Amino acid sequence: MRELTSPHQNERPQGTGVELIVLHAISLPAGQFESHYIDDLFMGRLDCSIHPDFESLSHLQVSAHFVVDRRGEITQFVGSDRRAWHAGVSEWQGRSGCNDFAVGIEMIGDEKRPFTQAQYRETARLCRVLMKRYPLISVDRIVGHQDIAPGRKWDPGKQWHWDKFKRSLQRIKRMDLEII
C-alpha cells in the first residue's frame, strides 16, 4: 500500500470513534482514471488552471482516508483514526457530520463504466480490515456517499453493484486479515 499524507485532515472530536465506512467514486478529469490528479487534489497541490473540469476545485480542501485505483492498488492519505474531509454536509441515521465518525474510501470510477473486479476485491478486503479494527462497523454501516448526502451526491452510483460487493465481503471474511 502506498502512503501519502494529505494536509486536509484533523483530529476527530474527543470521544468519537469510527462507526461508518463511506464509499465514493472519483475521476479527474471526468471520465479519466489516472490517479495523479486525484493525488494532487488530496495533497492540496492540484493546478486548477490546467483543465476546465478543475476550475470548481480551485479552493477545495478535500481528502479521503483511502483511494482504490482501477488495478486495486490502495493509497492511504489519512490515518483511519484521524478525520479526513470526504463527506461534506452529510447525515447518517439522524447524525450529522459523517466525517467525524466515518472512514472515506474513494474508488477511481464514474457513472458510465463498471468498476473493476480488483476494486471490488480490494475494497472488500480493506473494509474487512477496518471492520476488524473498528467493531462498531457492520456490513450495514458501509454506505455510499449518495446515502449520506442524498440529492447532493451520486457516488459510488449505479455502476457500483452492492450485491457483488457484499459477496466479495463474504469471501474476504473467511480469509486471515492483518490490521493496517
Q: Residues with catalytic annotation?
A: 106
Residues 72 and 119: beta-carbon distance below 8 Å: yes
| Integer Cα distance of 35 and 28 in angstroms | 8
Beta-bridge mates of residue 106: 24, 67
User: Distance of alpha carbon 111 from its chain centroid, rounded?
Assistant: 16
| Integer Cα distance of 128 and 170 in angstroms | 9
In our burial notation (b when 16+ CB lie closer than 10 A, e otherwise), range 109-120 reads bbeeeebbeebb
| Integer Cα distance of 68 and 60 in angstroms | 21
